[in-house]
Chains A and B, each alone.
Chain A
Amino acid sequence: MRYLPHTEEEIRSMLQEVGVADLEDLFSTIPGDCRRSGDMPLPKPMTEWELNAHMDQLAGRTAAAPEYRIFMGAGSYDHFIPSATSYLLSRSELMTAYTPYQPEISQGTLQAIFEYQTFITRLLGLDVANASMYDGASALAEALLMAIRITRRKKVAVSSLINPLYRRVVRTYLEPTGYEIVELPYTDEGRTDFSALTGLDELAGVAVQSPNFLGCIEDLPAVSEAVHADKKTMMIACFSEPMAFGLLKSPGSQGADIACGEGQSFGIPRSFGGPGLGIFATRSKFVRNMPGRLVGQTVDKEGRRGFVLTLSTREQHIRRERATSNICSNQGLCATNAIMYLATLGGSGIRQLARLNRDKAEYLKGALAQAGVRIPFTAPTFNEFVAEFPKGFDATWKKLLKKKIVAGLPLAPYYDEMANHYLLCATETCSREDMDLLVKEVTS
């Protein structure tokens, strides 16, 4: 096996040094009744070339662009990834390193993460960002737990227009310890209804997603006013499409105490949902209650600038059961991927690209409306929106799969009241021609 470098002769001489007769004898401390009797029932090993053929065949059994036209976002977005980003990310000094516990030989990872943290704070309009979390959903759960820690309250309110999959993860994280979760309803225009906050007191935090699951941009200043009516309650602004902040006002500038969500859009392949990037940012005064790793700037003994992991007394390996989270690693390479992508895009680039994303989806929305499709929610949207098709559209939707078109995500499984509603997405990767084709197919 090519990953095992020992020759038979070397094994013999090493065994001799250790003082045992054969490889089996190395395991003498394992009691006989713990031993496996037979071989592990696994397929016989493949050569590199057999593996390539097998994997080509498996990968070929999954729909992907450009063969398929997939007008679906819902937390996983198709954006062009520059070759330079993928190429740089494969630098094995970055890819095959461990957590930067030895800073003198990890400055590459550390500076890249410091730059990532800085870009994220500038994007979200907040003071500090951590080195990343597992995904948008667990980042939201951790944000709510953080609000619970800071306020010492036991109840949170969560908009029903937060990605339903994120809300399920929140339940998994919060319910075992008995915290109460109240879901806020939504308005006819497709925004969270904050009038429901009246009468809810002692809230640790209120979470809202913008752009929300329906693609609608929430009125964050109004959210802030409603949430901060109670000075202690924390406003958590979640997102699954951070590309929007190239165009929209940042959550931090509109009152959010914590902004968190998914960063897959920043140059990370969709890869069937993971690995993605949990983005997490907050205000300086909350930093010691923040979960996750942090990279900080310092100097070496000759006074030169350098970077280290810092404020680790918050973390599990020091504080154990009193840590701010059980998170141990982060999504280091995904954060590195994001900073490479954002650096490539630049300040001018992200403005243009975000604008183009919105315009593509607005074109599709307008074309569908013109063809007679109902657009039920009137709030402004970023690169995705809901369309309501006539009853029986599910047959058309299925028929289109055969034509290699995925005409959005059916919403009925997520919202009982949304039969025949579909969430459609168009990013910069959709051409006008593709969108015209979709309009023709869904209305014919």
Chain B
Amino acid sequence: MKETVGTHGLVFNEPLLWEKGAAGRNGFSMPSRDVPESPLDEALAGAGPDFPDLSEVDVVRHFTRLSQWNFGVDSGMYPLGSCTMKYNPKTNERQAALPGFAGAHPLLPAELCQGTLQLMYDLQEFLAAITGLPAVTVQPAAGSQGELTGMLIFAAYHKSQGKARHKILIPDTAHGTNPASAALCGFKAVAVASNESGVLSPETVAGLMDEDTAGIMITNPNTLGLFEENIHEVARIVHDKGGLVYGDGANMNAIMGIVDVSQLGVDVMHLNLHKTFSTPHGGGGPGSGPVCVTSELEPFLPVPRVVKTKKGYELSEDFPQSVGKLHAFYGNFGILIRAYSYILSMGAAGLKKATQLAVLNANYIKEKLKGDFHLPYDRPCMHECVFNDKIQEAYKVTTLDIAKRLMEHGFHPPTVYFPLVVHGAIMVEPTETECKQDIDAFIETMKTIAAEARENPELLHEAPQITKVRRLDETLAARKPCLTG
């Protein structure tokens, strides 16, 4: 049998933390006591938490073993559509760990934190340059908080125009967070169907847009990996009725250096620094979701804002129309450092090249695999392409089976069953940091799996077999929740 990237190896079992250790063991170097004990009212004193006592070696082995059960970008290709799992440069980690950054207290007087303030100010300028939208906040802690910020700005804008609006248009290709974020601002989501080409039709939008509708939330390129080519017309229709256009910038990796977002008619856009700007996903955060807006909407941005004065950089609260604060301090500063380092390492030409190669990789995969897997929208894609399991249905093989079999071959599966508009979707986003050899190996593996589906579907139904655990009983987990040990 041909060797695959994925193979067997020595994997350790490891119990839960409280199943190991012994009372009295110690893993922490307790600082010396140079002050006397001070009495505490007995009514306030507790017994302390029931944590196990572990040695430093216990803890180090425990988490080292756990880490070996995980697949990360550093392990291999991670073509998870919509998530932009590009390589996370190591120099960014070095910069974020510098004592002046990692040790900075957020409430230092401005004269003692000029470095951190300058970094935030410059990053805002960079993001403005990349999107074309002139005013930026880096406070939102994640994409979803960026969306919430955007919706708060919509609400504040309409209020300033003298009339609150109650509805918002959201295409069926949108991320699920879009309607949830809009609902937090009291907007009722109105679904907009995409057309047979997978993009928005101006006529559909015109039929739904009215003067009680705050605007539209558009992901462009959309979650099918297609550029919303009618965006100009859609924006015009929305603006004519006094509405605003929100751009979900989760897919910015497809258009850096190519598109000027402000020219699309977009008024507000959030970016995901953990996608486009290479910061690590951390197994589910921390991310960062800066928001870029037109100069007309600048007064509504969250406070405090970093401003540049003759004396240097300062935090200013002097924006009376602001939507307020979203984070206790200024957002996920540690993530901002990494994105800033990435942009400085890449430069304008490097970022544009990243976009071009991301789109090249996706189109190359699309062309090479479209005979083996059904491609519902056969047209040039941007940074990701969406297949489904229609061809494999005949062999009773599903998208889930294909995903699980990919693991055994050494690849992280693509995003599956999203976007919802494609039944059994397999959404592949290779990103630019995968080289041609790895892309070819992925294509070869997908072809092998397509053949296995025909010839030996059992292999797919039984996959994965060589992982730490096999398929897990998710129904049991939800029916009889066991959320603590």
Taking CB atoms, residues of chain B closer than 8 Å to A108 are 66-70, 283
Taking CB atoms, residues of chain A closer than 8 Å to B25 are 346
Report whether A95 and B88 are in contact in the complex, using a CB–CB cutoff of 8 Å.
yes
Task: Decide: A270 near B59, CB < 8 A? Known: A35-B258, A123-B49.
Answer: no
How far does the Cβ of B337 sit from chain A's closest Cβ, in whole Å? Answer: 8
A-B contact pairs, 6 of them (CB 8 A): A58-B115, A78-B105, A84-B56, A98-B412, A351-B48, A406-B112
B444 close to chain A: CB less than 8 A:
no
How far does the Cβ of A274 sit from chain B's closest Cβ, in whole Å? Answer: 4
Report whether B324 and A168 are in contact in the complex, using a CB–CB cutoff of 8 Å.
yes
Taking CB atoms, residues of chain B closer than 8 Å to A105 are 69-71, 407, 412, 464, 467-468
Task: Decide: A321 near B368, CB < 8 A? Known: A36-B132, A61-B100, A363-B36.
Answer: no
Query: Among residues 401 to 418 in chain A, which have CB atoms less than 8 Å away from a CB atom of chain B?
Result: 401, 406, 409
Query: Among residues 95 to 109 in chain A, which have CB atoms less than 8 Å away from a CB atom of chain B?
Result: 95-100, 102-109
Report whether A72 and B105 are in contact in the complex, using a CB–CB cutoff of 8 Å.
yes
Taking CB atoms, residues of chain B closer than 8 Å to A342 are 51
Taking CB atoms, residues of chain A closer than 8 Å to B229 are 29-31
Give the size of the chain B interface in residues (CB under 8 angstroms): 199
Determine the interface band of chain A, counting residues with CB < 8 A from chain B: 35 or more
B287 close to chain A: CB less than 8 A:
yes
Chain B CB within 10 Å, residue with most, of A57, A70, A80, A108: A108
Report whether A52 and B94 are in contact in the complex, using a CB–CB cutoff of 8 Å.
yes
A180 close to chain B: CB less than 8 A:
no
How far does the Cβ of A16 sit from chain B's closest Cβ, in whole Å? Answer: 10
Report whether A272 and B30 are in contact in the complex, using a CB–CB cutoff of 8 Å.
no
Known: A165-B328, A326-B183, A349-B28. 14 other contacts (CB 8 A): A1-B350, A88-B59, A94-B72, A95-B282, A107-B469, A163-B328, A246-B49, A270-B103, A301-B470, A304-B469, A316-B144, A323-B176, A349-B27, A351-B48
B453 close to chain A: CB less than 8 A:
no
Taking CB atoms, residues of chain A closer than 8 Å to B353 are 1, 4
How far does the Cβ of B7 sit from chain A's closest Cβ, in whole Å? Answer: 14
Q: What is the CA–CA distance of A246 and B47 in the complex, to the nearest angstrom?
A: 8
How far does the Cβ of B355 sit from chain A's closest Cβ, in whole Å? Answer: 9
Taking CB atoms, residues of chain A closer than 8 Å to B258 are 27, 30, 35-36
Q: What is the CA–CA distance of A340 and B283 in the complex, to the nearest angstrom?
A: 15
B424 close to chain A: CB less than 8 A:
no
Q: What is the CA–CA distance of A274 and B287 in the complex, to the nearest angstrom?
A: 10
A295 close to chain B: CB less than 8 A:
yes
Question: Which one of B24, B48, B287, B361 lies within 8 Å of A247 (CB-CB)?
Answer: B48
How far does the Cβ of B6 sit from chain A's closest Cβ, in whole Å? Answer: 10
Task: Decide: A327 near B144, CB < 8 A? Known: A117-B484, A176-B152, A301-B473.
Answer: yes
Q: What is the CA–CA distance of A138 and B149 in the complex, to the nearest angstrom?
A: 13
Question: Which one of A19, A104, A311 lies within 8 Å of B478 (CB-CB)?
Answer: A311
Report whether B330 and A272 are in contact in the complex, using a CB–CB cutoff of 8 Å.
yes
Taking CB atoms, residues of chain B closer than 8 Å to A97 are 70-73, 281-283
Report whether B328 and A302 are in contact in the complex, using a CB–CB cutoff of 8 Å.
no
Closest A residue by C-beta to B259:
A34
Q: What is the CA–CA distance of A92 and B87 in the complex, to the nearest angstrom?
A: 11
B189 close to chain A: CB less than 8 A:
yes
Chain B 158-201 near chain A by CB (<8 Å), digits 1 or 0 = 00000000000000000111011111111011000000000000
Question: Which one of A36, A72, A302, A327 lies within 8 Å of B257 (CB-CB)?
Answer: A36
Report whether A63 and B108 are in contact in the complex, using a CB–CB cutoff of 8 Å.
yes
Chain A CB within 10 Å, residue with most, of B69, B99, B145, B474: B69
Taking CB atoms, residues of chain B closer than 8 Å to A35 are 258-260, 263
Taking CB atoms, residues of chain A closer than 8 Å to B52 are 343, 346-347
